[in-house]
Structure 1
Amino acid sequence: MTTVVELEIPAARLGFARTFDRVSTFEFQVGGMIGGSSPLVWTNGPDRETVEQALEADSSVEVIASIADDADESSADDGVTPGQNDRWLFRLEFGDGVKLLEQIVTETDGAILTARGANGRWMLKLLFDDRESVSACHELFEQYEYRAAVTRISGIDDLASAQTPLTETQYETICKAHELGYFDVPRGVTLKELAAELDVSHQALSERLRRSHAALVSAELSERTAPMEIDP
């Protein structure tokens, strides 16, 4: 079944790490990564000059051209701080980390749907024909030490209705923990016993449960403040 995978990769592995260090509020969104030419990248931050200087000083990318911005010309009249809602478009050339990632995704019959970043991390949404392609891609990411953290896996048929923020492994772990009474008071199974049932180490299970809890709490808080969106 066609599968969409959402994952995060540290900027240190793909690019913009130095820009994030220099500009803490820096964010970006790539307008298409595969196609041969250098991609167009929307960026934002405190102001255009600060962002452009940071990009120029970042050895992981090359600024080919500064294209345009979508600043709201009426923002000053509306009392909005200048630069607060502005974005600036650059044509950038990425380094070997991004080029290898594109190659891996393409060779495993995948496609990059979106690529954006904030807080020192890239957030990617990838499309694959089947779960075997997903596994093959993930194995190559591990081989080349991309440190990719999968945040969500969805079937293309249920993208509109998918509500769980958990990955497939996290979902299965939570279900097994609930089934065996791990969340009961008193607990029906210890963490060590649950780890043995799932055939994982005590530490790996502890980290998996913490990530699952964090994802569920984050989704619940987001649900109470704004509607969930599939696309950024």
Structure 2
Amino acid sequence: MSIIVEFSLDTTDFLFGSVLAPVEEMSIDLEAIVPTGNLILPYFWATGKDFEAFERHVLDDPDVGGITQLDRVDDTALYRVEWASDLDGVIHLLAETNAVILEGTSSDRTWFFRVRFPSHDQVADFYNYCSEQSIKLHVESVYTLQEASRAGRKFELSQPQREALVLAIEKGYFSVPRKTNLSEIAADLGISQQAASKNVRRGAEKVLRACMLEHVGTTGRPEEENTDTAGDK
């Protein structure tokens, strides 16, 4: 039975994250892949402003063989990175246990992961390894795929997205006129405004996609409900 684990760890306990931690503020999102062999995490998204400084910073690291910007939309760019050496044990063990990284994102020196493991045994192997290596892993949630469809998980929100979106709703960010702004939301959460913006934006997109698109047919219009009411125009 597949098990989904949500956990976080500090950038200092994650070599991959340390390599990508830029001088200028930049948040990173990993592509959802199975990390295997030399192709460990070749793609990631970077959101920020000074991409040139970010690329110089990454290339200065001896573990990086090269970095290529593949695409860019506004303040977000897709990169492919070539690693000059093997990366840290966290990613290596994820590859060893055939785990799938469903989501990996950075936010102010902390990385959040949502990972699917093949079974409880692989989860135990991963957790025990982290303990042996003194990696401070903060497990936030463990659940099965069946449980994932229950309330609170059907939108597949990460914990940071869930917290930011709930706070935005409670504070009136979506009200007209707005009763708060991203700066205040970021201050309440203790994160940067950029991280708050990303979490609110992506969290809202996930909820809207789940709620809206599941009721949309192939024509792109909401499917009509079956009713017994005749002549109701």
TM-score interval, normalised by the smaller of the two chains:
0.5 to 0.7
Closer/same/farther in 2, CA of residues 137 and 220 from structure 1, 3 Å limit = same
CA contact (8 A) 1:20 1:119 kept: no
Instruction: Give the whole-Å Cα distance in 2 for the aligned partners of 1:94 and 1:122.
Output: 22
After the TM superposition, which residues 9-88 of structure 1 pair with which residues of structure 2 at under 5 Å, given as runs? 9-14=9-14, 15-17=16-18, 20=21, 22-23=23-24, 25-31=25-31, 32=33, 34-35=35-36, 36-37=38-39, 39-59=42-62, 61-72=63-74, 85-88=75-78
**Alignment match, 1:160:** 149
Q: Is the 8 A contact 1:27 1:44 kept in 2?
A: yes
Q: How does 1:94-109 map to 2 (within 5 A)?
A: 96-98=86-88, 100-109=89-98
In structure 2, the gaps of 5 or more residues are 154-161, 174-199, 208-233
The 1:153/1:219 distance shift into structure 2, 3 A limit, reads farther
Instruction: Decide whether the 8 Å contact of 1:154 with 1:162 is kept in 2.
Output: no
Matches within 5 A, 1:188-207: none
TM-score by structure 2 length?
Answer: 0.57
How many residue pairs match? The answer is 167
Question: Percent identity over the alignment?
Answer: 14
1:142 aligns with 2:143: no
Displacement of 1:27 in angstroms is 1.1
Is the 1:55–1:63 contact (alpha carbons within 8 Å) kept by the matching residues of 2? no
Query: Letter of the aligned partner of 2:30 in structure 1?
Result: V
Pairwise CA RMSD: 3.4
The verdict on how the C-alpha distance between 1:90 and 1:118 changes in structure 2, with shifts beyond 3 A counting, is: farther
Cα distance in 1 between the residues matched to 2:165 and 2:55: 34
Which blocks of at least 5 consecutive residues in structure 1 are unaligned?
Answer: 73-84, 165-215
1:90 aligned partner: 80
Change beyond 3 A, Cα 1:146–1:53:
same
- The letter of the residue matching 1:91 is V
TM-score scaled by length of structure 1: 0.58
